Amino acid sequence: MSGYHVSPAQCVRFYSAPELRHTHLLFLVPLGAASIDLSKARRIKDVVFRPGSQNVEWITMALQTIVPEHRDFRQITIRVSYYLTLFEINGNGRRVIGEAIYRQWSVLDRLLVQLWDSRSIRPRVVCTKPGGKVQNAETRVGCLLPEMARRGMVVPD
């Protein structure tokens, strides 16, 4: 079972599955369809995004504003907090984290790889593991960004 309850103030995503033995509730404030426009910042070299929730659509939207005139762009870093990886995939990430979020990460995965292949802008996803409490955070993030993981661009902090 999984679903959303949307209120003006916040969005609550919940999911529950017998094999997980837990019901997970994620409370977050949606960013909506807004993001930042990088198209005019033609001298930009490095960007770092630190998502505070599993919602990464705003990152994709920002990266989609990269234009050919960004000749100095060198690196995109996404730093993923440990608590965003507090889920068990068990081969079924799409259901566990929800279709909408899963799709956002898939789109981001494709875009990052595309920017690397076509523009040589190096993408890097760094998984933080404070205190070593979370094992295999990069493996879990790798399930969301399979092509990035396959190319060895999902790395521990």
Partner 1 sequence: MQNHHLPQEILDYIADLLHDQPETLKRCCLVSRSWVPRTRKHLFADIRLRSVDDLRSWKKTFPDVGNSPAYHTRSLFIGCSSVVVAEDAEEGGWIRAFSRISSLDVDNGVWYLNTPAISLLTPFHNFSPTLKSLRMCPIAFPCPQLFDLVLSSPLLEDLTLTGHDDSFGNEDESHGLQTVLPSTSPPLTGSLDLNIFGGMGNTVRQLLDLPNGLHFRSLAFSWHCEADLPWTTQLVELCSDTLECLDIMCRLPSAFVSIPHRS
Q: Does residue 53 belong to the site contacting partner 1 (CB under 8 A)?
A: yes
CB neighbours of 97 closer than 8 A, spacing ≥ 6? 15, 54, 87, 144
Q: Which of residues 79-108 bind partner 1 (CB under 8 A)?
A: 83, 86
Question: Minimal distance in Å, beta carbon 36 to partner 1?
Answer: 5
Q: Which helix (H) or strand (E) holds 77?
A: strand 75-80
Q: Return the number of the residue (58 or 116) whose C-beta is nearest partner 1.
A: 58
Could you give the 3-state DSSP secondary structure of residue 1?
A: coil
Q: Return the number of the residue (33 or 132) whose C-beta is nearest partner 1.
A: 33
Assess contact for 135 and 115: CB atoms under 8 A: no
Could you give the 3-state DSSP secondary structure of residue 69?
A: coil
Q: Which residues are paired to 99 by β-bridges?
A: none
Binding-site member from 6, 29, 67, 155 for partner 1 (CB under 8 A): 29
Which parts of this chain interact with partner 1 (CB under 8 A)?
Answer: 10, 16, 18, 21-29, 31-32, 34-38, 40-53, 58, 72, 83, 86
